[in-house]
Amino acid sequence: MNKKLISITLAVVAVFMLVWVLNSEALEKPKYSKISLQNYEENINNKNDFMIYVYKASCAVCHEVKPFINEVIETEKFDMLAMDADEEGNLNVKFFENQKLEKSPTIIYYEAGKEKDRLEGYQTKEEIREFVTKYKKS
């Protein structure tokens, strides 16, 4: 009887944990457009105006700011590119050095393929909103 009660309790706890994880904001579907390092380089070489969020799937701070980024993209109706530096094929040390990508997360705004401004590390939702609206095209 005691073993059965413990088993049922563990099963209930496991179900609640699963529901909590699945409903977590950090797991919310991203609102940004995920691209590869190759696409990132093409945007620079084509002298495009764009904003990119460079993050790592293994970065705890990146998971913290993801809901902020999603909300800002949605409320400001803004397109943002994103690249996961942990993803296979997206790590090129020379490119990262040239772009001075040393911290994660980093949000960079490029104008005509040249970096104009950036945010590095943890940022509040308001700081991200201010950054995005500063470069948002009307």
Collapsing DSSP states into helix, strand and coil, what is residue 123? coil
Residues 55-87 have pLDDT tens digits of 999 999 999 999 999 999 999 998 999 999 999
Residues 24-57 have pLDDT tens digits of 544 568 889 999 999 999 999 999 999 999 999 9
> Quick one: pLDDT at residue 91?
85
User: CA 66, CA 80: separation in Å to the nearest integer?
Assistant: 12
67 close to 28: Cβ distance less than 8 angstroms:
yes
Question: CA 45 from chain center: how many Å?
Answer: 23
Tell me the pTM.
Answer: 0.77
> Quick one: pLDDT at residue 4?
81
User: CA 6, CA 93: separation in Å to the nearest integer?
Assistant: 51
Question: CA 17 from chain center: how many Å?
Answer: 24
Structure tokens at 35: 């691209």
> Quick one: pLDDT at residue 47?
97
> Quick one: pLDDT at residue 28?
67
Domain ranges of the chain: 29-135
Peptide bond into 105 cis (omega under 30): yes
User: CA 80, CA 119: separation in Å to the nearest integer?
Assistant: 14
Q: In terms of CATH architecture, what is 29-135? A: 3-Layer(aba) Sandwich (3.40)
Reference 55, options 29, 22, 32; nearest CA is 32
Collapsing DSSP states into helix, strand and coil, what is residue 129? helix
> Quick one: pLDDT at residue 133?
95
Residues 93-128 have pLDDT tens digits of 899 999 999 999 999 999 999 999 999 999 999 999
CA–CA distance from 35 to each of 7, 15, 60, 124, 137 (Å)?
45, 34, 21, 24, 21
